[in-house]
Amino acid sequence: NAGVTQTPKFQVLKTGQSMTLQCAQDMNHEYMSWYRQDPGMGLRLIHYSVGAGITDQGEVPNGYNVSRSTTEDFPLRLLSAAPSQTSVYFCASSYARVHEQYFGPGTRLTVT
């Protein structure tokens, strides 16, 4: 099993550009989530999904969109990148929302 995979590993964007961060898991987990991690602030939940076709907002959803068309994939879209979105983004999956989560390797995003 590959577990949770994320692409790309690194990305530099200019302000105003859009892009999609990819996330996939092969563990047949229903629950998937996106976090951002900034120095001194811990992991903050952006969006999450409890199953295909169902998504909801987390703690810091503004500026991001998600969709969940399959159990395996949960892409995160940045609509119009801003320097405040410079961060490390982690995708995670779990059997259920309060079970232990398994993380992908992360995407380091810089917005200039």
Query: What are the residues binding another protein (CB under 8 A)?
Result: 35, 40-43, 45, 48, 58-59, 90, 97-106
User: 46: Cβ–Cβ under 8 A, 6 or more apart, which residues?
Assistant: 33, 34, 35, 36, 58, 59, 60, 61, 64, 66, 76, 89
Nearer to another protein among residue 64 and residue 90 (C-beta): 90
Nearer to another protein among residue 35 and residue 85 (C-beta): 35
CB of 80 to another protein, least distance (A): 25
Q: Which among 81, 27, 23 has a CA at the least distance from the CA of 48?
A: 23
Can you tell me the distance from the alpha carbon of 37 to that of 87, in angstroms, rounded to the nearest whole number? 6
CB of 79 to another protein, least distance (A): 22
Nearer to another protein among residue 59 and residue 70 (C-beta): 59
